[in-house]
Structure 1
Amino acid sequence: MSSSRSLDAARVGQWVRHVRTERGFTLDVLGQACGLPPSQLSMIENGLREPRVSVLGRIADALGTDIPTLTRSDAPSERAHLELELARLQASPVAERLGIPRLDVRRSVPDDVLRTVVALHGALGQQVREASATQAAGRLAMIALRLEGQAQDNYLEAVEDRAAELMASVERPPGPLTHHTVSRLAEHLGYRLVHADDLPASTRTVTDREHGVIYLPPAATPGAHGLRSLSLQALAHRVLEHREPTDYADFLRQRIEITAFAAACLIPRDTAVPFLRDAKGRRDIALEDLRDAYGVTHEAAAHRFTSLATKFLDIPVHFLRVRRSGAIVKGYENDGIAFPVATDGGIVGQVVCAKWAARTAFVHRNRSREHYQYTDTPTGTFWCSVQTGTSEDEFSITLGTPFAHARWFRGRETGVRRTSTCPDPTCCRRPEPELVRRWHDSAWPSAKLGEHVLAPLPTGRFPGVDDGEVYRFLESHAQAWD
């Protein structure tokens, strides 16, 4: 039984015991009334057995109540709440990592002792989160996850399988995944999708698990064009049985998994692989075709292609999102290209060579088509397809592959070719000597410094989210469902 299901069973058991004692029933009396042995009832009350609906119905009838009363999401008393909270905390990865001995909660344990133990568990968990929520820890976590993804060819099989199972649960029309089908997927999982114009500023979505509601930004909100993806990512937490992240690394891993899950639903493996294999057979693979066939962004198509290319097409690839300045926002490679790397192994924020296609595309800009280029580098020659765009800043999306595999792609006939000798500073980083002489003593620029550079990482339950803001939002909307 999973941790969440164990806690649900414990909560049901608390309500059964609460109503039974209110009625003045012993376990023997209740057992005779509902036809169950007292030992089985004791296991149910202690959360050691999750009763079937039919069994729970018999217990409810014998107690003169109903199933909704015995399955309420709150606790029947402060004592019950403390016991459930301690069970949740003791089952957390933080407690396991710290090696905290479990406390077997008996009725003889006083409430004030239980309250103190719960508070200590909470304080220790907060200390662990704060210790891991630093720029250095976050960066190291990102590096480790990038290397892990590289080792798996960016293909998360377990996530792919769960996405395929969900997609098979509903009939879907041909063509891009529609908002209506996404809503049906949500209903299949017991959720409804609701657009809210007062969504907390620190959130992309908010899920009310008690009432089965996923709150999304309004469709007309700038930047809300990816509502299908946002909805699927929110559902992914439920499908993948995510628990509250214990640290920033766990939070990042969950983000990677829900992003992969949404992509696997929007561009399903069962149709995308034949689509791409057919294109490869014609030597005409093009991201624009994948993008248009599934109604997704160019970046989503590029990133999804990386997760399928090596596993199913035997094509090694690299992917980059780069700012106009040349700084890497995100990147992936398993084709041997050498990204610029910091001393700690990180690539985010590193500046790519000015001669790479990711940057020359800004000069040879054509928003109606992709920019193609061959680049000779110290680690080999790579063919790249690049599309530029603008959000808060100009950026480029690059999909590349070694020269030997360019033959499978549209745009391979390009005559554009550059030579990069980076990290040799004479390639593009060192200014011409005459410019140095002319401006060295006169130039005094004021550098941009994002506030995130100096700020610590957020230390709430979910990094970057204002807990109080979320709780107030849910409270204001809960009356619509109660």
Structure 2
Amino acid sequence: MSPAAPSTTPNPRIELKTLGHRIRHHRVAKDLTLDELGALVGVAGSQLSLIENGKREPKLTLLQSIAEATDVSVGDLISSEPPNRRAALEIALEHAQQTYSFLQLGIPPLKVTKGVTDEALETVLGLHQELQRRDREANATPEEARRANTELRLRMRDRNNYLPEIETLAEEQLAAAGHKRGALTHRTVSLMAERLGFELIYVNDLPASTRSITDLANGRIYLPPASIPGGHGLRSMALQAMAHRLLGHKPPTSYADFLAQRLEINYYAACCLIPETAGVDFLKQAKKDRNLAVEDFRDAFGVTHEAASMRMTNLMTQHLDMRLHFLRAGSEGQIERVYVNDGLPVPEDVTGAVEGQILCRNFSARRAFERQNRTTEHYQYTDTPGGTFWCATQTGTRDHGEYSITVGVPFDDARFWRGRETTKREASNCPDESCCRKPSPDVSARWSQKAWPSARVHTHIFSPLPRGNFPGVSERDVFDFLERHND
């Protein structure tokens, strides 16, 4: 495949601060004031000021006008390189002051003015770098896994969590199996497997570390018993197993490769259970009716609440121009799964990892556990440092405790969702620890040095993953299983 030609359209991940500095640099080089450049390109000087300060993203047409007025190319304006040393220092400081390590200190950021010297900026940046270094030393999590997971999450955010090539593949496979509309049946899933040369076999003795096993030599896909209530997960497991073959996966060579493959097979299964064409049509009509709801999307395609919520993240930004967030959290507020492309401030560690971090107590994902009646969704507006967000949260239970599933959008898009009329509203200042993590001064003074809790240590954190090609899976268990079923 030949490399794609460079695009002149603004990349959604362009650093707005760098873009603003480059526009200012070329404006000053032409000896133009904000108002003078604004007159040339047809916008107010105040609007240009917002762009130069990285607070507003210009449209391509405006970028083209600015480029012409300053005698440079659009490519020069959107270059990722700061135009000078001062700009590089200011951009680096802004990034440093947005890290979780700094924000949780609860101290105000340094406001950079012309009077702040380059030497002063370098000193402050040096302090930030030392803060980051100390946090990294204190970080005792498996570094490779967290880094790979974070990189994959950010990469998918850049793509709006949308993989068009897998969407197309799923639609082709469904059409070949004769599926046209409605919920995907187990029978159709079996037909899809047969077309690939596989038979679905349900057994009671799968190794505990596996969800399914594919016998490539004999064309069999082994799954848990078909008597599982509802059976939603069985369709997904079978589709995931087929996806490895359809996507041409090889045994993973790294943890990052393993995570990427797992994401792709999950994505393929979701595309089959909620096909793009039908799913987008449903969501567009619901948006037009101002009646978007996860529960309706879930019921229309016969999937779980979580599957419907995650599928919305694949389709809504790409096709409905609506940014949103998804959270699965445990009853203690720990993040188990997350997708954010709407600016919701979620906690992260010094490596950028989010999973395992604790959500603010005032978020809908945690407030929903406090309700007596949990059969319906919990609706809530939350004011945060990143803006106001509307959320819908559904709680559930499983073998190892309760969990919540949340889908939310920025305030302006709440008008398209059922539940927007809720009067429930909370405020969150996290990651400032005074929001919900630190006790009040009175309580702290009363109990400081007078309490000694005994922590519940989860034994699984001391358990190493079995070695082999597939992290977390014992190859001996897998091979012993296949031996039993091929006697």
Is the shorter-chain TM-score for this pair beyond 0.5, marking a shared fold?
Answer: yes
- Highest CA radius of gyration, 1 or 2? 1
Listed one character per residue, the Cα deviations across residues 429-469 of structure 1 (whole Å, up to 9, x for unaligned) are 11122322332223222222223433344321111111111
Q: SS at the partner of 1:383?
A: strand
Indicate yes or no: 2:249 matched with 1:249: no
Question: Are residues 273 and 338 of structure 1, via their aligned partners in 2, closer, same or farther at CA, if it must alter by over 3 Å?
Answer: same
2:175 to 164, 168, 174: 168
Q: How far has the Cα of 1:350 moved from its partner?
A: 0.8
Indicate yes or no: 2:355 matched with 1:339: no
Q: Partner letter of residue 461 of structure 1?
A: N
Q: How far has the Cα of 1:349 moved from its partner?
A: 1.0
User: Partner of 2:316 in structure 1?
Assistant: 309
Q: How far has the Cα of 1:225 moved from its partner?
A: 4.8
Q: Does structure 2 retain, via aligned residues, the 8 Å contact 1:219–1:225?
A: no
Q: Does structure 2 retain, via aligned residues, the 8 Å contact 1:135–1:457?
A: no
Listed one character per residue, the Cα deviations across residues 129-149 of structure 1 (whole Å, up to 9, x for unaligned) are xxxxx8210111000000001
Q: How far has the Cα of 1:365 moved from its partner?
A: 4.7
CA distance in 2, matches of 1:243, 1:224: 29
Q: How far has the Cα of 1:191 moved from its partner?
A: 0.5
Question: After the TM superposition, which residues 4-403 of structure 1 pair with which residues of structure 2 at under 5 Å, given as runs?
Answer: 135-172=142-179, 174-221=181-228, 225-391=232-398, 392-403=400-411
Question: Are residues 295 and 406 of structure 1, via their aligned partners in 2, closer, same or farther at CA, if it must alter by over 3 Å?
Answer: same
CA distance in 1, matches of 2:321, 2:232: 33
User: Partner of 2:451 in structure 1?
Assistant: 443
User: Partner of 2:52 in structure 1?
Assistant: none
CA distance in 2, matches of 1:365, 1:164: 42
CA distance in 2, matches of 1:472, 1:223: 30
User: Partner of 2:440 in structure 1?
Assistant: 432
CA distance in 1, matches of 2:348, 2:165: 30
CA distance in 2, matches of 1:446, 1:144: 35
Question: Are residues 219 and 351 of structure 1, via their aligned partners in 2, closer, same or farther at CA, if it must alter by over 3 Å?
Answer: same
User: Partner of 2:103 in structure 1?
Assistant: none
CA distance in 1, matches of 2:375, 2:391: 17
Q: How far has the Cα of 1:222 moved from its partner?
A: 7.5
Q: Does structure 1 retain, via aligned residues, the 8 Å contact 2:298–2:304?
A: yes
Q: After superposing the two structures, state which structure 1 stretch, 310-319 or 444-453, moved more.
A: 444-453
Q: SS at the partner of 1:443?
A: coil
Q: Partner letter of residue 395 of structure 2?
A: T
Structure 2: 5+ residue runs without aligned partners?
A: 1-140
Q: Does structure 2 retain, via aligned residues, the 8 Å contact 1:287–1:302?
A: yes
Q: Does structure 2 retain, via aligned residues, the 8 Å contact 1:162–1:240?
A: no
Q: SS at the partner of 2:485?
A: helix
Indicate yes or no: 2:476 matched with 1:462: no
Q: How far has the Cα of 1:157 moved from its partner?
A: 1.3
Q: How far has the Cα of 1:172 moved from its partner?
A: 2.4
CA distance in 2, matches of 1:222, 1:279: 29
CA distance in 2, matches of 1:223, 1:348: 28
Q: How far has the Cα of 1:223 moved from its partner?
A: 9.7
Q: SS at the partner of 2:211?
A: coil
CA distance in 2, matches of 1:286, 1:258: 26
User: Partner of 1:407 in structure 2?
Assistant: 415
What do you get for the CA RMSD once the two structures are aligned?
A: 1.5
Q: Partner letter of residue 467 of structure 1?
A: E
2:427 to 391, 413, 419: 419
Q: How far has the Cα of 1:184 moved from its partner?
A: 0.6
Q: Does structure 1 retain, via aligned residues, the 8 Å contact 2:368–2:393?
A: yes
Q: After superposing the two structures, state which structure 1 stretch, 421-430 or 303-312, moved more.
A: 421-430
Listed one character per residue, the Cα deviations across residues 90-130 of structure 1 (whole Å, up to 9, x for unaligned) are xxxxxxxxxxxxxxxxxxxxxxxxxxxxxxxxxxxxxxxxx
CA distance in 2, matches of 1:426, 1:476: 58
Q: Partner letter of residue 233 of structure 2?
A: G
CA distance in 1, matches of 2:475, 2:171: 33
CA distance in 1, matches of 2:198, 2:435: 55
Q: How far has the Cα of 1:427 moved from its partner?
A: 1.0
CA distance in 2, matches of 1:234, 1:366: 38
Q: SS at the partner of 1:478?
A: coil
Q: Does structure 2 retain, via aligned residues, the 8 Å contact 1:384–1:398?
A: yes
Q: Partner letter of residue 142 of structure 2?
A: Q
Aligned residues: 346
CA distance in 2, matches of 1:169, 1:277: 26
Question: Are residues 263 and 401 of structure 1, via their aligned partners in 2, closer, same or farther at CA, if it must alter by over 3 Å?
Answer: same
Question: Are residues 291 and 224 of structure 1, via their aligned partners in 2, closer, same or farther at CA, if it must alter by over 3 Å?
Answer: closer
Q: SS at the partner of 2:333?
A: coil
Question: Are residues 365 and 251 of structure 1, via their aligned partners in 2, closer, same or farther at CA, if it must alter by over 3 Å?
Answer: farther
CA distance in 1, matches of 2:484, 2:466: 24
Q: SS at the partner of 1:369?
A: coil
Listed one character per residue, the Cα deviations across residues 328-371 of structure 1 (whole Å, up to 9, x for unaligned) are 11111110111111111111111111111111111125332111
CA distance in 1, matches of 2:282, 2:191: 25
Structure 1: 5+ residue runs without aligned partners?
A: 1-133
User: Partner of 2:61 in structure 1?
Assistant: none
